[in-house]
Chain A
Amino acid sequence: MIRDFGIVWTERGLLLNGLANTAILSLVSVVGALLLGFVLTPALMSKKPAVSRAARAFVDGMRCIPFLLFAYIVYYGFPSIGINLDNWGAGLLALTIYNAAYMAEILRGAWAALPRDEIEAGVAFGFSELRLFRRIILPPLVLSAGPVIGNQLIQIIKDSAFLTIIALPELTHAASSIQSRYYVPFAAFITAVALYWGLCLIVEAGVNVLRQLADARR
């Protein structure tokens, strides 16, 4: 058993590369999903029924499809309609679009729960729409939605592992290739699990800092 971990240690470059790829995938997708979410949220809350219904259909639709199936559709299905993506492009696109739906719902919930009087005071002071959003709505929104966004980031990290099926060289894929080359399944996958755990503990620590900031402001 010790010998198995020794083999994993000699292949640490491969695992760390996988870990870095998982981190990059997750960070790029969480930023992309948040930005898309910020576009979708006003659409969800739009007073025009056509806009809000279309946004609602997209968000609910995404939330009813398993991520793995969506990734398959983007990677194997999109070429049939003329969109060809390599595994990185397909993986990033799938993670971003899929999680944008969840982010939009999270942001909508936090937005709806914001106290109305500050926003109304901002309107009364003549803030333009954009400045009202940036100065009055955004800061408390980020603070109150922060913990849930952190949870979603953990979900994204875990979803990114599914991308091993389209041969994207992320952490699980790295562990798989070490295990198939040396037949050290326990050592390889337990190390991967430990690394995922570490990533999530870092995210949770970040969320706690954000929560303390939010409490200090209150």
Chain B
Amino acid sequence: MSGGDIAAILGGAVVTVTLSLIGILIGLPIGLGFALLRWANAPIAAPTVTVYVSILRATPLVTLLLLLFFALPNIGVPINPISAAIIALVMNTSAFNCEVWRAALMSFPKDQYEAAQSVGMGASLRFRRIVLPQIVRVSLPGLVNEMSLLIKVTPVLAVVGVVDITRAAVRIGAETYEPLPPFLVAVSIYAPIVFALVSLQRWIERRQVAAEAAA
């Protein structure tokens, strides 16, 4: 394994991290939107979201990715590996984020909402000033946990030809006939990223427990 090989895996790391970030940034608000639709019991939309979340939570990312990558061109929508990867990640993570947001919304104290209503706040102001800041705090550990899960499923994107960490490592292993060293380099990139997210989650949880104890 040469220095160029390690550079290739690092290049894959840039792809992995970029795609994960895009997936997270798009998936977060969509998940919140879905959760709000269910919370508000919107007709037609709420049951649709319920079924969507149930199916997406049961679908392996590989299967979803292959479905998008092969079926969309079949019905006349051309798609490249990168966009298929982003759509699959967003669909996957938005379903899980929806559950996290919804749990926070369900536990949101109703009296605060009614108090805001009684001082004459409009629906959007009520949501922005009263509901959102509090559910963000409650959801944060769950959302960070979901981010670490998202990073751990990204190697699947290699299946449709996205050159991420895993695909770069597999290719170097096949070229050098020594698969173990590039895999270990790949592990040494994934592990710190996931570990940082897991530590962040624990740190947030600890801080919140401490803040509650102080209050």
What is A's interface to B at a CB cutoff of 8 Å?
A: 60-61, 63-69, 72-73, 76-77, 80-81, 154, 157-162, 164-165, 171-172, 175-176, 179, 183, 185-186, 189-190, 192-193, 196-197, 199-201
CB-contact partner of A63 in B57, B74, B198, under 8 A: B198
Q: Chain A binding site: helix, strand, loop or mixed by DSSP?
A: helix
Q: Is the CB of A73 within 8 A of B58?
A: no
Contacts A162-B156, A186-B71; A77 near B183 (Cβ below 8 A): yes
Q: Is the CB of B66 within 8 A of A68?
A: no
Is B59 part of the binding interface, using a Cβ–Cβ cutoff of 8 Å?
Answer: yes
Is B215 part of the binding interface, using a Cβ–Cβ cutoff of 8 Å?
Answer: no
**Residue in B closest to A75 when the chains form the complex, CB atoms:** B179
Contacts A185-B66, A189-B63; A65 near B71 (Cβ below 8 A): no
Q: Is the CB of A172 within 8 A of B66?
A: yes
Is B54 part of the binding interface, using a Cβ–Cβ cutoff of 8 Å?
Answer: yes
Q: Is the CB of B159 within 8 A of A165?
A: yes
**CA A192 to CA B66, docked complex, whole Å:** 11
**Residue in A closest to B152 when the chains form the complex, CB atoms:** A66
**Residue in B closest to A78 when the chains form the complex, CB atoms:** B180
Count how many chain B residues have C-beta atoms less than 8 Å from C-beta atoms of the other chain: 40
CB-contact partner of B60 in A61, A69, A172, under 8 A: A172
**CA A64 to CA B148, docked complex, whole Å:** 8
Is B55 part of the binding interface, using a Cβ–Cβ cutoff of 8 Å?
Answer: yes
Is B142 part of the binding interface, using a Cβ–Cβ cutoff of 8 Å?
Answer: no
* Contact segment of B31-39, B113-121, B185-193: B185-193
By a CB distance below 8 angstroms, the chain A residues around B179 are: 72, 76-77, 80
**CA A192 to CA B62, docked complex, whole Å:** 11
A–B complex contacts, Cβ < 8 Å, 10 sampled: A64-B190, A64-B195, A80-B179, A172-B63, A186-B67, A186-B71, A186-B74, A192-B63, A193-B67, A196-B63
**CA A161 to CA B61, docked complex, whole Å:** 8
**CA A87 to CA B161, docked complex, whole Å:** 22
